A and B are shown apart, each in its own frame.
Chain A
């Protein structure tokens, strides 16, 4: 039940991301993406390999259903899945793996969750902006795009964290 609800929420958020990519293009400096947070919040019991496949399929779906470059989201999202457990271990420590506990704002607190989400988004954006510019954009442009995209994606990702959090998906709160 818990897994089914997570899957439904994940698919709904994927549709939201596709809508953002197609209809909410605020400026050339802002690229909003909730994909890194979605990948980060995949339950810990699913290791790196399932997360890699989920990231690949998710990125490919966004690439195919939005009018961007095919492969761009995949290229940027797969490293997030690869580094996901490393980020979680770095921010939340090894105990979370020993307790087999999933990460969420109520359990780990807003600050730690924010740092983890920002790290995931930053990794995604560095690769995305670098590959999108293909070495032709000036550094100042890429820098402004990175900062503006990071800020906007972070705010939206906090909502994603509250939707995908295990407390919410299981229907019970502490």
Chain B
């Protein structure tokens, strides 16, 4: 009985100790900017480590479903590759293409899996199991075969922290139809598979059911990734259309992703800076 009371006292003492330390860290975080950055970085690292561990266990039990999804995706990619090879072969036979090394997407791809993702906030985030040692860089896009997931914000050695597309602060450049109007696509702020395509000129006609693609106008995402299907629209300020989009990629079920980094990003930024510098002169 006495031992039991001692054990309970120790447990309660430990819980109070942890709560007090959390309170102290919280106070410290708000009282110094250096400490704020330091504690935020440390908490990201701890979260990545903890959720990485939980994820491994959860992953084991969902292997069958994941394997089926991967096999389906693999079949689609094989088919797409074969079609592409046929086109290249035809082009080479017709003398339109002499060197296959000229076919270059301009994006580096790093496969990763999500170890933690938030879905119930207005500023959602995710943590990937790949870091700078695996070639992930800040300001890289994160995609799946069914759409986009978000943008990498901070990179650690083995983990990356990113802002999810389910974030009211993020918009990506999207195109309506194969050669249609381009506008910013943002999360609708409510559902896990809903978005809004904004600033589409009124003169542009479209049909509900048209596919929405990445435009490739931003440096983050490659062009022509299918994002979703256009739905109903409404006129905003009498000037532009706002179109509801049902995303192909639901954030309710996400695990395997690909991090895409624009290989020419530095060169493009250099040119932009050069242009801005000349403009100022």
Contact = CB atoms under 8 A, between A and B. Distances in A.
B31 A71 contact: yes
Contact of B9 (A49, A72, A131, A135): A49
A42 interface: no
Contacts of A21: none
Interface stretch (A75-83, A115-123, A157-165): A75-83
Interface of B: 9-10, 12-14, 16-17, 20-21, 23-32, 34-35, 37-38
A90 to B, nearest CB: 17
B17 A70 contact: no
A71 B25 contact: yes
Given A49-B12, A75-B25, A69 B35 contact: yes
A82 B17 contact: yes
Contacts, number: 65
B26 A71 contact: yes
A93 interface: no
> Interface extent on A, as a size class?
20 to 34
Nearest to B38: A134
Q: Which of A53, A59, A69, A136 has the most CB of B within 10 A?
A: A69
B28 A52 contact: no
A79 B35 contact: no
Contact of A78 (B12, B21, B32, B34): B21
A48 interface: yes
Contact of A71 (B12, B13, B16, B27): B27
17 contacts: A48-B10, A48-B13, A49-B16, A52-B16, A52-B17, A53-B16, A69-B35, A70-B28, A71-B27, A71-B28, A71-B31, A72-B24, A75-B21, A78-B20, A82-B14, A131-B38, A136-B34
A52 B13 contact: yes
Nearest to A68: B31
Contact of A56 (B12, B14, B20, B28): B20
A47 B12 CA distance: 12
B222 to A, nearest CB: 37
Contact of B35 (A48, A78, A131): A131
A41 interface: no
B9 A48 contact: yes
A79 B21 contact: yes
A74 interface: yes
Contacts of B12: 49
Given A56-B20, A71-B29, 19 more contacts: A48-B9, A48-B13, A49-B9, A52-B16, A56-B24, A59-B24, A69-B32, A70-B30, A71-B25, A71-B28, A71-B31, A74-B24, A74-B27, A75-B21, A75-B25, A78-B21, A79-B17, A134-B34, A134-B37
